[in-house]
């Protein structure tokens, strides 16, 4: 067969696509990175709290084109299409109800998944099987078994994966982790992973606690998917599903993929994990409450080498964020650029007005992550130009992102193990190489969950 030169092939596909009425954006997977349009095509799935935020970032990137949106709630889907087509000033982005139809589209290179945790595994695996690169939200999945299945699928199909653990793309978190990795606080002894407590009413539905019919716009059966079918109660569906163990994992699993992710970065634990997890304290809501996830909790994860990580929500001695404590000092980081360090030489103070909006307000000094030279930081960690940009760059270069799938898996695993230790109310031993609970059949059963028929977890 005569080979067609790449440039003619591109022109041919471009012209043919236009002739048969397809949008003329040619996916990078068909044409390679030198495609005339130069666009990476994307589908966005889930238009709730996080989907719109991720989409806004991808809409700003000139080499990305969102061509499909999917949601099982018609009202949410309509908002997605209005936003995306409004931004591009055309009607090219198509709407879908069933994610399998999106994944089957050969002209889509990438997917952004912002779905409740019960859907992470099935959608990610379907995407990987269909050759899509994936921007997927944290925690990697609802159970460790599902996480292992996602890792396997992504590796098997050679996909690029970026996790929504965007803190890795912020300077203060990276510099904190670099200080620890470069031994500047001495031998690491303790790590604090401070997470929120209680339940936040994200959807304003906390008082909607009666059983009703699902609203006409929502395909509730599909929304429940592989989880256990239960009556429709508004306060445990959109956004507030995280307070129901059937779908999510409470504050612990909502946040573990952020602050434990950063803790592991400093500990160099992206491919490993604890060897033992001890439940220290847990407050559960009354059995009659619709929201059934822990409201206050504390667990200790022991790592090889004698490091103890405390994971806690609602305990005043463990501040929200990540704190590493070594033999010679400590470093603390949190959202909003928060950075503090026991060592004055590693701390950079900047002057700021107490009230940003009032030019006359008092000037205060606040700590900021310092720019440390190569003489101090010999091991530099992965710095990105932005989390979403990093994903697109890696889709083109085929290099790992700053939070590849293996990292997401290991970052969330201590949270899953802590939850299991609360449920069985005893210490559990974990083999981080074989990824198995040692000598505890009942605890091991909690590594996965039954799938509601006809859904099956298959890689």
Ligand X SMILES: NC(=O)c1ccc[n+]([C@@H]2O[C@H](COP(=O)([O-])OP(=O)(O)OC[C@H]3O[C@@H](n4cnc5c(N)ncnc54)[C@H](O)[C@@H]3O)[C@@H](O)[C@H]2O)c1
Nearer to ligand X, 46 or 370 (CB): 46
14, 23, 48, 321: which one contacts ligand X (CB under 6 A)? Answer: 48
Which of 40, 58, 71, 334 binds ligand X (CB under 6 A)? It is 71
Q: How far is the CB of 98 from ligand X (least distance, A)?
A: 8
CA distance linking residue 34 with residue 384, whole number of Å: 23
Determine, following the binding rule CB under 6 A, whether residue 138 of this chain makes contact with ligand X: yes
- Residue 275 is a binding residue for ligand X (CB under 6 A): no
Output the CA angle 20-25-28, nearest 5 degrees. Answer: 120
Beta strands in 304-396 (DSSP E): 307-313, 321-326, 329-333, 339-341, 348-353, 363-368
Burial (CB count <10 Å: 0-12, 13-18, 19+), residue 163 = buried
Residue (14 or 164) nearer to ligand X, CB: 164
Element (H, E) at 64: strand 64-70
Query: Based on CB atoms, which residue is closest to ligand X, 148 or 240?
Result: 240
Pick from 73, 170, 300, 340 the residue near ligand X by CB under 6 A.
73
Which is closer to ligand X, CB of 147 or CB of 370? Answer: 147
Lay out the sheet containing 110-113: strands in order across.
94-96, 64-70, 40-45, 110-113, 133-136, 161-163
Strand-pair category, 110-113 with 133-136: parallel
Contact 269, 303 (CB under 8 A): yes
Tokens of 269: 């634990």
Q: How far is the CB of 244 from ligand X (least distance, A)?
A: 11
**170 binds ligand X, rule: CB under 6 A:** no
Asked if 226 touches ligand X (CB under 6 A), the answer is no
Which parts of 85-114 interact with ligand X (CB under 6 A)? 99, 114
Please provide the size of the chain in residues. Answer: 459
Which CB, 48 or 370, lies closer to ligand X?
A: 48
* 238 touches ligand X by CB under 6 A: yes
Sheet with 436-438, strands from edge to edge, namely 339-341, 329-333, 321-326, 188-195, 307-313, 296-303, 276-283, 428-431, 436-438
Residue number with CB closer to ligand X (47 or 58) = 47
CB of 329 to ligand X, least distance (A): 29
Q: What are phi and psi of 366, to 5 degrees?
A: -125, 150
Instruction: State yes or no: residue 313 binds ligand X (CB under 6 A).
Output: no
- Asked if 249 is part of the footprint of ligand X (rule: CB under 6 A), the reply reads no
Binding residues vs ligand X (CB under 6 A): 45-51, 70-73, 76, 99, 114-117, 119, 137-138, 164, 166, 222-223, 225, 238-239, 241, 254
């Amino acid at each position: 067969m005569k080979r067609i030169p790449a440039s003619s092939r591109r022109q041919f596909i471009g012209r043919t696509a236009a002739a048969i009425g397809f949008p003329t954006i040619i996916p990078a997977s068909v044409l390679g990175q030198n495609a005339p349009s130069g666009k990476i095509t994307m589908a966005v799935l889930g238009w709730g709290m996080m989907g719109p935020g991720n989409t806004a970032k991808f809409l700003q990137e000139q080499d990305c084109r969102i061509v499909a949106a999917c949601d099982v709630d018609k009202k949410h889907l309509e908002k997605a299409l209005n936003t995306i087509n409004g931004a591009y000033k055309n009607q090219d982005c198509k709407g879908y109800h069933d994610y399998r139809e999106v994944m089957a589209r050969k002209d889509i290179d990438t997917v952004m998944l912002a779905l409740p945790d019960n859907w992470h595994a099935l959608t990610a695996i379907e995407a990987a099987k269909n050759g899509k690169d994936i921007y997927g939200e944290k925690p990697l999945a609802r159970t460790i078994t599902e996480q292992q299945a996602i890792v396997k699928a992504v590796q098997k199909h050679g996909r690029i994966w970026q996790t929504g653990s965007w803190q890795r793309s912020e300077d203060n978190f990276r510099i904190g982790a670099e200080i620890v990795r470069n031994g500047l606080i001495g031998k690491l002894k303790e790590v604090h992973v401070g997470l929120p407590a209680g339940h936040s009413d994200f959807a304003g539905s906390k008082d909607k606690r009666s059983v009703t019919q699902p609203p006409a716009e929502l395909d509730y059966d599909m929304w429940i998917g592989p989880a256990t079918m239960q009556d429709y109660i508004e306060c445990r569906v959109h956004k507030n599903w995280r307070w129901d163990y059937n779908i999510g994992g409470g504050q612990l699993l909502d946040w573990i993929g952020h602050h434990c992710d950063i803790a592991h970065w400093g500990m160099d634990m992206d491919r490993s994990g604890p060897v033992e997890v001890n439940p220290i304290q847990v407050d559960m809501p009354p059995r009659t409450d619709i929201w059934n996830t822990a409201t206050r909790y504390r667990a200790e994860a022991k790592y090889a080498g004698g490091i103890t990580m405390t994971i806690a929500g609602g305990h005043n001695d463990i501040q929200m964020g990540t704190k590493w404590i070594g033999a010679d000092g400590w470093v603390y980081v949190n959202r909003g650029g928060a950075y503090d360090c026991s060592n004055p030489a590693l701390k950079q103070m900047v002057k700021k007005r107490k009230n940003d909006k009032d030019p006359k307000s008092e000037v205060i000094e606040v700590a900021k992550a310092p720019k440390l030279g190569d003489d101090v930081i010999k091991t530099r960690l992965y710095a990105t130009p932005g989390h979403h940009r990093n994903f697109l760059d890696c889709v083109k270069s085929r290099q790992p992102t700053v939070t590849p799938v293996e990292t997401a898996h290991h970052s969330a695993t201590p949270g899953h193990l802590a939850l299991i230790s609360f449920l069985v109310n005893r210490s559990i031993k974990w083999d981080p190489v074989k990824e198995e609970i040692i000598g505890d059949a009942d605890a091991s059963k909690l590594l996965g969950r039954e799938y509601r028929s006809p859904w099956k977890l298959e890689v």
